[in-house]
Structure 1
Amino acid sequence: MGAAKKIREARSMTQIKRNAALVAVTAVALGMVTPLAVAVEQAPALDWKKCAGSTLDPRQQCATLEVPMDYAHPDGRKIGIAVSRIPSENPDARRGALFLIPGGPGGSSLTDPSNKGQKLPQEVRDAYDLIGFAPRGLAPSTSVDCGLEHGDLALSKLRPWPAADGSVDGNMATARRMADACAANGGELIQHLSTRNEARDLDRLRAALGERKISAWGVSYGTYVGSVYAQLFPARTDRFVLDSNDNPDPTKVSRAWLAGHEQGVEDTFPEFAKWASEPGNPYRLADTAAEVRPLFLRLAERLDREPIPWPGANPEELNGNVLRQTMLDTLYDPDHFPALAALMLAAQSGTLPPAPASPPDAALQNVTAVGAGTLCNDVAWPTSTAVYEKGVAESRAKYPLTAGMPRNAMVCAAWPYAPKEPPVRVTDRGPSNILLVQNERDVATPVSGALKLREALGRRAVMVTVNSTGHGSYLRNGNACGDETVSRFLATGQRPAADTYCR
């Protein structure tokens, strides 16, 4: 281990001493990166220490990476990015570093080397150092906070569910209130949260690790981060796994992700309906699957008219939109189906269980600020109420389960800052070293959106569609065929020759 560490440190110093100007000129001339995606070779070496926290694998190490807050002014203010690693378990078999790119925006992979990273097969853990991080803005990295009202931290408020009659006026008012709070309390950093900058931070981390290339496993929003990295730095990619894939539409970006919930719910709700009508199920809702959908719609409409008090919840009532949000949350994982069924049964009886525990407001404030800043800085959203009124009306008519939410106004509709850079257009330029894995029924990143990313990447990618239900496929809600395909690629580089289906 000592010899391997010295080699890595020597490689890191070699990277650090490169002529950044020469790298920049060459990369821009080749069209491989944007001008602001350079000067990353100046990253200082990392000072690895034991991580805080008793639940982590004792092998996990932590450090702080210093990066520019604004890559347009790299000599200006610096911020810290918290990073972690568990070194390869077999230095003789080590290939490089596997970046675990979290979802969100607002998710962290800082503990992932100790947690989901340990679910990776032995040959993968031997081949890579497992690398986690907390993206810019997210504690314990230099953090942001919008100071939102407690009520605006409710999931049923953060997801822009319209009023019972379809009105979006309340959503626009919420968007303005939240945007004003972020402008007042978010500081300068909130203006520099973006997917481009997260990708640049990752490349700076690559340089600090002394790696010529990186491999990655990105999940959900992490698939967009991984795609953007592969677009900006194609020559620095090794084996990339993109799991549960976002539509990369450069004209909409996050608006396309939100809109995707329409089809995602339609793809997934029938699985819940089948489960909820099975004989012997203690949470059985109906005799047949066909009865579950109208039952849900009637109950949501009733709760729109007659909410049930729910002390300790946020808001402190079970209304139609809280039920719809619970439905959306539940469909992420079939293991969560009982939560929705139990709530529906309780609402029918009029006696609710204790409100589920919620994370502390401070944590929600931080996650929400990172999410808002990233989503709103990546692409400009329409500011006209009429745009959302039209979209919501069309969506409610075609997709009643989601009641117009996926085309409604989030905080970005009133965001006070214009994007500093255009969205990244993902293309097929670069090496063919990307494997997409995608569940066929995924409420958050439906297969219809994943196919858009597959189309954009062209010859660079191969896609494995998995006959399974839930968000997060590899080693989570997929199947053995999909898991084996991804593991083989990470360990050996072998991909299917063409797009394939894991039945």
Structure 2
Amino acid sequence: MKQSRSLRAAWLTVSAALLGLATPLSVSPPATAAPSSPALHWTRCAGDGLDARQQCASLKVPMDYAAPGGRTIDVAVSRIPAEKPAARRGALLLIPGGPGNTSLTDPSGKGQKLPQAVRDQYDLIGFAPRGLAPSTTVSCALQHADLATSTLRPWPAPDGSITGNLATARRLSGACARNGGELIRHISTLDEVHDIDRIRAALGEHRLAAWGVSYGTYVGAVYSQLFPQHTDRIVLDSNDDPDPDLVERGWLHAYERGVEDTFPEFARWAATAGNPDRVATTAEEVRPLFLRLAARLDRAPLPWPGANPPELNGNVLRQTMLDSLYAPSRFPVLAELMLAARRGTVPPAPTPPPDQALQNLAAVGIGTICNDVAWPTSTADYREAVADSRRLHPLTAGMPRNAMVCAAWPHPPRRSPVRITGQGPSDILLVQNARDVATPLSGALRLRRALGARAVMVTVDSTGHNAYLANGNACGDRTVSRFLATGKRPDGDVYCP
């Protein structure tokens, strides 16, 4: 059924469940060049639906880069070789979002959407970041109920209370401390960046091109900051604010702006005559209707057998709203749920991914977010911030300022976050949709300012998360493709109407 397919698509966005966020902190000193790595042993990849040309390998890297001679872990790498060896330029790394996503299958997937001129020149490289299968895995062994998106990215209670959220934070952080082993302490952006440089060395490349998306833009920016001599053509797509004082905390805060930027597009679509999922006769009616439905479900949730949680409450509707604004193609998910809630019914429960996959993904996301930057521990600070957020941004109801698992994280960050600067080669192209719920334009502009002369930015008049070859437009796609194929960028920042 249409509803079932749509809701299943929304559920699969759980990979972003944890986000997909003082004085200036110091930059971590760049590591010395990675030691010469043995050649990767390429074999046939496991799994179905992959391009027959895709190969896989495993690379051993230090678990702790402060003790590089100690325990090692495995990082899985994949590639499809350049299609025109005579024109080969190097390797293009596909950096996944998240944190908690993988790009291991991307050479066979989105990599095949790249123009032929790019695929001719570059080996397409994917990888499973440390902690994610089939790399050495990590798990917090959370309870099934705690794998719900609205728990991992918690919403305040209907009255604004965060007491239950703080108890959940203590329970989840305790589970990770008990079950995550030593590896959970070494899951971070800086660890991933150093792994990437080990991948580069193992590939035998002096320089690495990259296409980073969402959280991958932060990874790509940090790599470009710490290893500028090893960068080639860098595309950062759907960009995170690089504020080193906040990092992922700031990305969560950004949902307030992202929803305000994007919800009007949903409202116009949801009020369009002839739309089978039309919820109102005018766009102006959609926002108050949504708020009324959420408030009614706060008071009287509807049983939803088979779902996690097993009821349709106000926060589940709000979470569905957030997930559905990631792409216009997902707008029907929210509209269908609003229509069902107005009738007092529920659609078929979405089919979630296996718990084992969610456990793995959640642990990597938690580890990265909590290890990258210190989070406040004051209950009063969270309560005040949530109250202000609920008053100013009722659509997001305080969630972006709420206490999540990191509020009770037992481990202080091992290193300070990296401050992004304009020091380094001018080889970065940013592409950004004007309306993006997860990485709003306001944050992308901060990354653009931080990079200075190193970057040029293409702003696309489109709606959705992920711009290049996804929710952008032909003008933006042409500009990025030309850069990857030829190295030519616009002379300055451009706008693609």
Q: Which TM-score bucket, shorter chain as reference?
A: over 0.9
Paired position in structure 2 for 1:157: 151
Residue of 137, 144, 154 corresponding to 2:138:
144
Query: Distance between the aligned counterparts of 1:53 and 1:378, measured in 2?
Result: 32
Query: Distance between the aligned counterparts of 2:294 and 2:29, measured in 1?
Result: 51
Letter in 1 for 2:421: T
Query: Distance between the aligned counterparts of 2:85 and 2:33, measured in 1?
Result: 30
Q: Are the equivalent residues in 1 in contact too, given 2:325–2:464 (CA < 8 A)? A: yes
Paired position in structure 2 for 1:20: none
CA deviation profile, 1:80-119 (whole Å, cap 9, x unmatched): 0000000000011111100000000000000000000000
Matched, 1:333 2:315: no
Q: Which protein, 1 or 2, shows the higher relative CO under an 8 Å CA cutoff with sep ≥ 6? A: 2
Query: Distance between the aligned counterparts of 2:279 and 2:328, measured in 1?
Result: 16
User: What's the TM-score once normalised by structure 1's chain length?
Assistant: 0.93
Matched, 1:491 2:496: no
Query: Distance between the aligned counterparts of 1:436 and 1:463, measured in 2?
Result: 5
User: What are the within-5 Å matches in structure 2 for residues 221-370 of structure 1?
Assistant: 221-370=215-364
User: What are the within-5 Å matches in structure 2 for residues 86-97 of structure 1?
Assistant: 86-97=80-91
Matched, 1:441 2:435: yes
Query: Distance between the aligned counterparts of 2:34 and 2:145, measured in 1?
Result: 41
CA deviation profile, 1:435-484 (whole Å, cap 9, x unmatched): 00000000000000001100110110001000000000000000000000
Letter in 1 for 2:70: G
Letter in 2 for 1:117: G
The alpha carbon displacement at 1:37 in A equals 2.0
Query: Distance between the aligned counterparts of 1:405 and 1:59, measured in 2?
Result: 44
Larger radius of gyration: 1
The alpha carbon displacement at 1:40 in A equals 1.1
Q: Are the equivalent residues in 2 in contact too, given 1:36–1:72 (CA < 8 A)? A: no
Paired position in structure 2 for 1:3: none
Q: Name the CA shift for 1:349/1:34 in 2 (closer, same or farther; >3 Å).
A: closer
The alpha carbon displacement at 1:34 in A equals 4.7
Letter in 2 for 1:183: A
Query: Distance between the aligned counterparts of 1:498 and 1:164, measured in 2?
Result: 47
Matched, 1:46 2:6: no
SS at match of 2:225: helix
Paired position in structure 2 for 1:9: none
The alpha carbon displacement at 1:149 in A equals 1.1
CA deviation profile, 1:476-499 (whole Å, cap 9, x unmatched): 000000000000000000001111
The alpha carbon displacement at 1:36 in A equals 6.2
Structure 1: segments with no counterpart, 5+ residues: 1-32
Query: Distance between the aligned counterparts of 2:33 and 2:259, measured in 1?
Result: 43
CA deviation profile, 1:10-68 (whole Å, cap 9, x unmatched): xxxxxxxxxxxxxxxxxxxxxxx955622512322100001112310000000001100
CA deviation profile, 1:150-209 (whole Å, cap 9, x unmatched): 111100111121000111111111111000000000000000011011000000000000
Q: Are the equivalent residues in 1 in contact too, given 2:390–2:396 (CA < 8 A)? A: yes
SS at match of 1:249: coil
Paired position in structure 2 for 1:207: 201
SS at match of 1:245: coil
CA deviation profile, 1:225-263 (whole Å, cap 9, x unmatched): 000000000011010000000000000000000000000
The alpha carbon displacement at 1:264 in A equals 0.3
CA deviation profile, 1:326-377 (whole Å, cap 9, x unmatched): 0000000100111110011011111211111111111111000000001111
Letter in 2 for 1:367: L
SS at match of 2:35: helix
Query: Distance between the aligned counterparts of 1:127 and 1:414, measured in 2?
Result: 47
Matched, 1:216 2:216: no
Query: Distance between the aligned counterparts of 2:303 and 2:439, measured in 1?
Result: 33
CA deviation profile, 1:413-456 (whole Å, cap 9, x unmatched): 11010100001111111001100000000000000000110011
Paired position in structure 2 for 1:65: 59
Query: Distance between the aligned counterparts of 2:48 and 2:157, measured in 1?
Result: 45
Query: Distance between the aligned counterparts of 2:456 and 2:35, measured in 1?
Result: 31
Paired position in structure 2 for 1:454: 448
Q: Are the equivalent residues in 2 in contact too, given 1:392–1:405 (CA < 8 A)? A: yes
SS at match of 2:352: coil
What is the percentage of aligned positions where both structures have the same residue? Answer: 72
Structure 2: segments with no counterpart, 5+ residues: 1-26
Give the RMSD, CA atoms, in angstroms. 0.9
Query: Distance between the aligned counterparts of 1:408 and 1:143, measured in 2?
Result: 28
Q: Are the equivalent residues in 2 in contact too, given 1:175–1:409 (CA < 8 A)? A: yes
Letter in 2 for 1:103: G
Paired position in structure 1 for 2:163: 169
Q: Name the CA shift for 1:401/1:34 in 2 (closer, same or farther; >3 Å).
A: closer
Q: Name the CA shift for 1:256/1:35 in 2 (closer, same or farther; >3 Å).
A: closer
Matched, 1:384 2:378: yes
Residue of 422, 425, 431 corresponding to 1:428:
422
Matched, 1:189 2:183: yes
Query: Distance between the aligned counterparts of 1:136 and 1:336, measured in 2?
Result: 30
Letter in 2 for 1:118: Q
Paired position in structure 1 for 2:20: none
SS at match of 1:431: coil
Query: Distance between the aligned counterparts of 1:162 and 1:416, measured in 2?
Result: 22
Letter in 1 for 2:222: V
Aligned length: 471
Residue of 397, 401, 406 corresponding to 2:395:
401
Paired position in structure 2 for 1:8: none
